[in-house]
Amino acid sequence: MDHDALMAYCLSKPGAWPDEPWDDSTVAKVGPKIFAFLGSEGAVGVKCGRDRDDADEWIDRFPEDARPMPYLARSGWNSLRLDGAIPDAELRAAVDESYDRVVAGLPRKHRP
């Protein structure tokens, strides 16, 4: 899966919108919260679990293509390579899970 296809998938989610809060970084948000980091490095950062232990399943399954995200790892965020061994369907499922987790934590007024 390439960057543009994944960005289009992220933005197809209800209430999703793009933002560029930092140089050279695009994120997908729902309400005021980020659910996907889509930088220029060929990876997507998503919330893969409630905590680090939960998110480590991705690292166990795809040790060459999944890694904990700097600064956010303890909260269950991983960076997943787009051009590695992770199938496109699994990448879309990771985005779906991240979106659902973020939406569930939003106040009702910010939910789509």
| Residue-by-residue pLDDT tens, the chain, 112 positions | 999 999 999 999 999 999 998 877 899 999 999 999 997 679 999 999 999 999 999 999 999 999 999 999 999 999 999 999 999 999 999 999 999 999 999 999 989 9
Q: Which helix (H) or strand (E) holds 36?
A: strand 33-39
Predicted confidence at residue 39, as pLDDT, reads 77
Tokens matching residue 79? 């960076």
SS (H, E, C) 60-77: HHCCCCEEECCCCHHHCE
CATH of domain 3-106: 3.90.1150.30
Give CA 88 to chain center in angstroms: 13
Residue 106: exposure state from Cβ atoms within 10 A (0-12, 13-18, ≥19): middle
pTM, two decimal places: 0.93
Predicted confidence at residue 40, as pLDDT, reads 66
